[in-house]
Amino acid sequence: MDDQRKTELRNELTRFASRYWAGEAEVAHAFFSVPRTDAEHLRWLGLQAYKELQPRTDGIIIKLIEKLTADYGKLEHGVDRHDMLYAAQFLEEEFRHYVLFADVIDHITGKQVTMDEVVKYELPGETDLRAVRKEFADKHGALAKFASSFCEGGGASIYYEGMLMTGSPLAEHVAHACKGVYEDEVDHAVHGASDLAGAADTEEDWALAKEMVAAISEQRVRMRNEQFGFPMSDVRFAEMVAGTIEIPERYAAMLV
């Protein structure tokens, strides 16, 4: 498959996935557009802190630390410096995102959140999302890994909505945290799309990638809906899946 066709298919997949990113944006907008209690904010912030830190043995922070430790001795001898730099930057970004959201939790509660508390914020929708990703990874290997990476961040949708918050000290804290994450997540999505384009070599690969992106993205929106207190109805969810949803123009920046 030539590069031109890969670019066409990459852009087609980006346009397809945009309906789900718009769904995540709609969920977050519905939440942020009306006054919320501290408990409601702690629900979404707690899960977000959990997602960033992933305090479990297979979590991204631990895996990145282990990868960097293993790769260090092989730098320039099988490990490319640029790949190692990307892994180090990715580790810094994920941990910084955790710090940003944990700081907002501290602002609400008046005390420092602990890792033991963060673990308790996991919700069933997040557990189900990991299960979907794992099932695909077990069946389809590297292609599934890159399809999952393509979905990561959901088009940075909730961060875009959150960084528009104003009007109170808490809103300013939320906006600061979301702004600190937004551009990183846009970059992650673009990097994920590039990796997927490198791994998908046939029309069949791209068709399978689209199926996995659809399944992962649908579960992502279910997870976000639970995270923000279920503002999206089942009817609206079905409309989103069918593509009957307005697509924000900012997603066009992810086309190549």
pLDDT in tens, 198-238: 888 899 999 999 999 999 999 999 999 999 999 999 999 99
Residues 174 and 162 sit within 8 Å (Cβ to Cβ): yes
Mean per-residue pLDDT of the chain: 94
Report the distance separating Cα 208 and Cα 169, nearest Å: 46
What values do phi and psi take at 50, rounded to 5?
A: -60, -45
Does the pLDDT value for residue 192 go beyond 80? Answer: no
More confident residue, 252 or 91: 91
Q: Which pLDDT score is estimated for 197?
A: 82
In the chain, the domains with their CATH numbers are: 3-247 (1.20.910.10)
Q: Which pLDDT score is estimated for 173?
A: 97
- Average of per-residue pLDDT across 82-90: 93
Q: Which pLDDT score is estimated for 256?
A: 74
- Average of per-residue pLDDT across 185-189: 80
The alpha helices in the chain, defined as continuous H runs, are: 3-32, 38-53, 60-72, 81-109, 115-119, 124-151, 157-162, 169-199, 203-227, 234-241
Inter-CA distances, 64 with 49, 54, 75, 79, Å: 17, 12, 15, 14
Report the distance separating Cα 68 and Cα 61, nearest Å: 11
> Percent of the chain scored above 70 by pLDDT?
100
Q: Give residue 123's pLDDT band: very low, low, confident or very high (50, 70, 90).
A: very high
Q: Within 13 Å, how many C-alpha atoms sit on residue 59's CB side?
A: 18
- Average of per-residue pLDDT across 140-162: 92
Report the distance separating Cα 15 and Cα 17, nearest Å: 6
Q: Which pLDDT score is estimated for 104?
A: 98
Report the distance separating Cα 200 and Cα 207, nearest Å: 9
Does the pLDDT value for residue 43 go beyond 90? Answer: yes
> Percent of the chain scored above 90 by pLDDT?
82
To the question of pTM greater than 0.75 for the whole model, the response is yes
Two tokens at 27? 């969920």
Q: Give residue 194's pLDDT band: very low, low, confident or very high (50, 70, 90).
A: confident
